[in-house]
Amino acid sequence: MQVTSNAHTHTSLCDGRDTPATMAQAAYQLGFKSLGFSGHSFCPVDGYGMNAERLAQYCREVLVLKHEYQGRMAIYLGLELDSMSELPVAGQFEYLIGSVHNLQTPEGRVYPVDAAPADTAAAIAEFGGAAAYVQAYFAAVDEMLNSRPVDICGHFDLICKYNAGGRFFAEDSPEYKKSAAGVLRRHCQKGKKNRPVFEINSGGMCRGYLTRPYPDYWLWEILRDEESWVMVNSDAHAAADLAFQLAELTARAQAFGLKVVTIEEVIG
Ligand SMILES: [Zn+2]
Ligand SMILES: [Zn+2]
């Protein structure tokens, strides 16, 4: 299978390794028809979002590439919008990926979801147990999708990044399944207005944390039942990772009966 697109792409202007130009060149060499950039929004609680100056440079460089590749590969200016970031100016970006990377405890402390296993352990302790932590995560995803105009829901179950082997919580428990499935179904529901596209994200596999994508395969059933649109993205932080598992996951999703779209269809 020929992979033709990726819409979840980071660069050295946030926490990626390579410049926008290097990422675009790699995508073109892979035969992509389109590439969407989705640098991290500035977020006061983490260190990798783009501040105003970086963001301006990011927009400038991506728009130059858009022009440079015109007629050969479509380039889109997107943003991965953290749930704790301010909303960007309307129309500034061609699409938004909405992501929960941080959770706030009832006491007001913020813990990153995907920075280190020690943070997960500390957050679980402060939330008063794994069940409460899981519930808080999916409540944050729910709230984000309720309140923000996101086109794509990023890595739906990122909370599992450090949970291989059930290290912190049981993903097959009824409580876990209820939290995850409930929020997913509410937002991908057939007939719902402005429902986001859910990405199938290979980032956790690429970096060796997991052997399955976000969201996990059992959640695909809901996406299929609701006839939700999905897109397959690598969440690449380096040019070498741009197409990681995209062909395999796209083939698997299509064989499973999911409606796989690319960024062109999302933007419409
Ligand atoms: Zn993310
Ligand atoms: Zn990302």
* Stretch 2-30: mean pLDDT: 97
- The alpha carbon dihedral of 122, 123, 129, 131 has a sign of negative
The ligand that comes nearest to the alpha carbon of residue 98 is 1
Q: By percentage, how much of the chain surpasses pLDDT 90?
A: 96
User: Ligand 2: distance of its center to the CA of 251 in Å?
Assistant: 22
**CA distance linking residue 61 with residue 59, whole number of Å:** 6
Q: State in Å: Cα 16 to ligand 2 middle.
A: 9
Ligand that lies nearest to the alpha carbon of residue 112, given by its number in the listed order: 1
Residue 83's pLDDT is: 97
Cα(108) to ligand 2 centroid in Å equals 25
pLDDT at 204 over 90: yes
Whether 46 has a pLDDT exceeding 90, the answer reads: no
> What would the two tokens of residue 22 be?
């290097």
Q: How far is the CA of 97 from the centre of ligand 2 (A)?
A: 8
Cα 154 to averaged position of ligand 1 atoms, centre (Å): 6
User: For residue range 234-246, what is the model confidence (pLDDT) as tens digits?
Assistant: 999 999 999 999 9
Distance from residue 9's CA to the centre of ligand 2 (Å):
7
pLDDT in tens, 111-168: 999 999 999 999 999 999 999 999 999 999 999 999 999 999 999 999 999 999 999 9
Distance 80 CA to ligand 1 centre (A): 7
The angle formed by the CA atoms of residues 65, 66 and 69, to the nearest 5 degrees, is 75
How many angstroms separate the CA atoms of 164 and 148, rounded?
A: 30
pLDDT one-digit tens code per residue, 64-114: 999 999 999 999 999 999 999 999 999 999 999 999 999 999 899 999 999
For residue 38, which ligand has an atom nearest its CA? 2
pLDDT at residue number 159: 98
Query: Is residue 1 predicted with pLDDT exceeding 90?
Result: no
User: Do strands 110-112 and 95-99 pair parallel, antiparallel, or not at all (unpaired)?
Assistant: unpaired
CA of 12 to the centre of ligand 2 (A): 13
Per-residue pLDDT at 203 exceeds 90 = yes
The bound ligand whose nearest atom lies closest to the alpha carbon of 156 is: 1
Nearest ligand (C-alpha, residue 82): 1
CA of 15 to the centre of ligand 2 (A): 9
What's the CA dihedral at 48, 53, 56, 60 to 10 degrees? -100
170 CA → ligand 1 middle, Å: 23
pLDDT over 90 (residue 47):
no
The larger pLDDT score, comparing residue 81 to residue 46, is at 81
Q: 82: CA distance to ligand 2 center in Å?
A: 10
Q: How far is the CA of 235 from the centre of ligand 2 (A)?
A: 5
Q: How far is the CA of 243 from the centre of ligand 2 (A)?
A: 14
User: What distance in angstroms lies between residue 99's CA and the mean position of ligand 1's atoms?
Assistant: 6
Quote the pLDDT of residue 68: 98
CA of 80 to the centre of ligand 2 (A): 6
CATH of 5-267, one of 3.40.50.150, 3.30.1330.40, 3.40.50.720, 3.20.20.140: 3.20.20.140
Half-sphere exposure of 185 (CA within 13 A, CB side): 10
Mean pLDDT over each residue of the chain, to the nearest integer: 97
The confidence score (pLDDT) of residue 268 equals 81
Ligand number nearest CA of 46 is: 1
Q: Model confidence at 178, in pLDDT bands (50, 70, 90)?
A: very high
How large is the average pLDDT for residues 42-70?
A: 95
